[in-house]
Chain A
Amino acid sequence: MKWNALRGFTLVELLVVIAIIGVLIALLLPAVQQAREAARRMQCSNNLKQLGLALHNYHDQFLAFPPGSVSSTVPRNGGGSGNSFGPSFYGMLLAFFEQGALHDQMVWVGESPGYINEGAGSAGDLNKVPVLAAGPIAAMRCTSSAGPISNGFESQAHYAGISGCAEPTTFTESRISTVTVSSQPTLVSGGGMMLTNFSTGFHSCSDGSSNTLMLGEMSGGLLRTDGNKSYPSASGTDHGWLMGNRVTGYPPNLDSGSNSSDMRCFNTNTIRYSPNQQPFAYQLFPGMASNVGANNPLSSEHPGGVMVLLADGSVQFIADTIQLETLKQLATRDDGQVQSQY
């Protein structure tokens, strides 16, 4: 009896127990990681939901959605160089998603209110302090993203306004402006809901608000041909959520003015390629570019697809394997082809 009580465990018994526990943990860990990713995806869809509510409240207030981005008619550098950068739709929406304090600290009229590195004394320069102090704004960012918070400018937003599609095969999209980035043609469409310098409303959306995309996720990493990853956000890899555009007109009549060739439209996206399409290579797929192609693919770190917001305020998961034509029909507000199955 006494011998039994003093016996304790042998080394082998101990190792067996540890091994069993190890196996159990190994079985459990992937499940835990998947549960965490599911929670992050839920948070991402909640962000889109909040932005959708903000867009709807904006529509209630002004009887139209905000434009995807706008320009400021005050010229850059005191004149002679075309319009200056206005804010993106995020700037116009701030007060509608609990960022009213930031909105009130900022200047919205003047030279480049959308570009915080503009010259001293400009509206953009005045906005620099409050915008950088606000840091990354949670509602604009997918928590699954492994991308950088910013790249020398304000933080990057992960949800781009969908301004339509380019090069569809099942219908004709003629509202296209060609913007050259990296010497390749990028196509800016005017067939969606979030346009450059133009406000749409529920009345514009003749396909029905539940069949039209409003925002799409751009938070993932895409492999380049050299094997590195790029994280093209809604505003590319350099600029951030506030950046708009400096052109006049809206597709198909975008005009950079005679003194400028800069027709980049930040924080909006025209669907041309499948979600998460790789490689991210302007050499192969014109329209992709870091700063900033109008046709960078929607992307995310969620396994198998991206989150999108539709104009009715609903949030959907779009699989990478979606038929590209279906996505293009969803992106267009009035193509007349209603997609309920995707």
Chain B
Amino acid sequence: MNCKRFAILLIAVATLGCGNQNDIGPTGRVNGVLTNKGVILSPHTQVVFLHSQGGTAAYGGTDEKGNFAIDSFNDGNIPIGAYRVMIQPPESQLGAEDEPSAEELLENSNGRKAQKKDAEFAFKYRQLSTSGLEFEVKEGENVFQIDLK
């Protein structure tokens, strides 16, 4: 009997520290609705959250009704704290990742300019420093209604 207890104790001690590897502290989940002046944007518009201090990045795309859920990081459980948010157009509205080669730029050096007007919302929302969108993520569920001006 003692031997059995000892064995159980031994296994318990040996597996200490295994399992829960979550060392990012308390987490919250984020979802909500994204609109631009009250109008729903194209599906797959990306909402990107970046932790102001830590730099944790997480994102999620919108659906046809403008609903989004931030689920790319840790199954949607992101560390709590202040986040800055930027909005990116769906991939189909961006140019392909066909950065010009040096030769290409020599042939057609004026050919490519920023395609700022193509997006459905103001360009400033595509950068954290200019978007002005800041949210405090608290423990548990967080619902944010984001309306771009």
Which A residues lie at the B interface, using CB under 8 A? Answer: 76-77, 81-82, 85, 115, 117-118, 166-167, 169, 180-185, 187, 236, 238-239, 259-262, 264, 273-274, 277, 282-286, 289-292, 322-325, 327
Contacts and interface: CB of A to CB of B under 8 A. Distances in A.
SS class of chain A's interface: helix, strand, loop or mixed? loop
A183 B51 contact: no
SS class of chain B's interface: helix, strand, loop or mixed? loop
B99 A284 contact: no
A325 B97 contact: no
B59 interface: yes
B110 interface: yes
Nearest to B96: A182
B101 interface: yes
Most chain B C-beta atoms within 10 Å of own C-beta, residue among A76, A117, A261, A273: A261
Contacts of B94: 182-184, 282-283
B115 A324 contact: no
B54 A324 contact: yes
Contacts of A166: 129
B99 A181 contact: yes
Contact of A292 (B46, B48, B53, B99): B99
A260 B105 contact: yes
Interface in B101-123: 101-103, 105-106, 109-115
Contact of A182 (B46, B56, B97): B97
A184 B128 contact: no
A182 B126 CA distance: 13
A286 B99 contact: no
Nearest to B102: A115
B113 A273 contact: no
A283 B88 contact: yes
A290 B94 CA distance: 15
Given A183-B115, A274-B55, A323-B54, A259 B101 contact: no
A284 B127 contact: no
A277 B57 contact: yes
The 7 closest A-B pairs by CB, nearest first: A324-B55, A291-B99, A183-B95, A274-B55, A167-B129, A180-B114, A262-B105
